[in-house]
Amino acid sequence: MAPVRFIVTGLGSWGPGWAELIQQQDGVELAAVVEPMDDRRQAVVEARGLTPDQAYSDLQTALDHVETDAVLVVTPPNTHLDVARIAFAAQKPVLMEKPLAASMDDARALVELAEETGNLLIVSQNYRYRPPMQAVRKLLQDGVIGDILHIQANCQEDMRLFYEATNFRYLMPHPHIIDMTIHHWDLLRYLTGHEVDTV
């Protein structure tokens, strides 16, 4: 089976890591990278051994010139809807970093756009694949732990300590709620097998 070819768009905080990960895995291939900032784009080109025809400043141009199976979106959340529109117009499925969007309106629009165009829209959730979480899930499924009565998750660090003042996470009014607890909500769903009824 041919590898799934990805264009990675967004080479800020997490994009370079995604590009590296794709190159290290079987079954996937890094088709190209997209980043409007020349220095970031060039750094990834050099680090990943890419050729000039694998690096672009905008997604549309990359899609026009590169054969790809999917688009991996690692741009700030306020750009996700616009980036997905471009990918979906090219009939490419989208794997997207969380959070899905910067607003509920954009999140709903993304889901509607995926449904209207018949494209796959996936939000990456990596915590569930960590070995400790896999082990806890198996213990729960096998009945070793017993019934869950209460789960508590604590997020106590100021995320602004980890990011530059220009980073979108630094600028968020509530970065733990918008960007980090997404992991914990997903883990609750994954570990218990239940969906949220009320908030």
**Reduced to 3 states, what is the DSSP secondary structure of residue 81?**
helix
Is the domain covering 4-123 a CATH 3.40.50.720 domain? yes
Least confident residue range of 11-25, 112-126, 160-174: 160-174
Tens digits of per-residue pLDDT, 128-151? 999 999 999 999 999 999 888 888
DSSP secondary structure code for residue 116 in this structure: H
Distance CA 29, CA 110 (A): 26
Tens digits of per-residue pLDDT, 92-136? 999 999 889 988 999 999 999 999 999 999 999 888 999 999 999
DSSP secondary structure code for residue 177 in this structure: I
DSSP secondary structure code for residue 160 in this structure: G
Closest CA to 47 of 20, 10, 65, 27: 20
Domain limits of the chain? 4-123, 128-192
Distance CA 5, CA 36 (A): 21
Phi, psi (degrees; rounded to nearest 5) at 160? -65, -15
Longest Cα–Cα distance of the chain, Å, equals 56
What is the reported pTM?
0.85
Q: What is the pLDDT of residue 21?
A: 96
Q: What is the pLDDT of residue 165?
A: 64
Distance CA 3, CA 5 (A): 6
**pLDDT at residue 185 above 90?**
no
**pLDDT at residue 158 above 80?**
no
Task: Provide the H-helix boundaries in 29-153.
Answer: 38-48, 59-65, 80-89, 104-117, 131-141
How many other CB atoms sit within 10 Å of the CB of residue 138? 11
